[in-house]
Amino acid sequence: MLDLPDALRDTCSVVTELENARAYGAKALRARVDLVATASMLLRSRPEAQFEAVELVAMAREIRAEAVELRRRHRVVRHSVLTMMD
């Protein structure tokens, strides 16, 4: 069927990394991931909801892209701060 569990797992790992690094915006991403995960659990009981599942996969991938960009920006800022402290 669809790779929603894989998309969610990939997204969750990046968001968890951001949360552990205390990156600004990580909590908002976690809330969005949790909403997608909850919606996916509700759709499991409805096999006819193929369109909704496709949309959830797209949302999970979009959130992951945002999380990867946030991770990149967080690393740049952290590096800049550490460089200034030296």
The string of pLDDT tens digits covering residues 22-50 is: 999 999 999 999 999 999 888 887 878 88
Dihedral through CA 34, CA 39, CA 40, CA 46, nearest 10? 170
Question: How deeply is 52 buried, as exposed, middle or buried, from its count of CB atoms within 10 A (0-12, 13-18, 19+)?
Answer: middle
Query: How many structural domains does the chain have?
Result: 1
Q: What is the pLDDT of residue 52?
A: 87
Q: What percent of the chain has pLDDT over 70?
A: 98
Helix %, strand %, coil % of the chain (to 5):
85, 0, 15
Q: What is the pLDDT of residue 48?
A: 82
Domain range for residue 46?
A: 4-85
Q: What is the pLDDT of residue 41?
A: 86
pTM over 0.75: yes
User: What does the alpha-carbon distance between residue 55 and residue 31 come to, in Å, rounded to a whole number?
Assistant: 17
Closest listed residue to residue 15, CA positions, set 61, 74, 56, 64: 64
Q: What is the pLDDT of residue 2?
A: 54
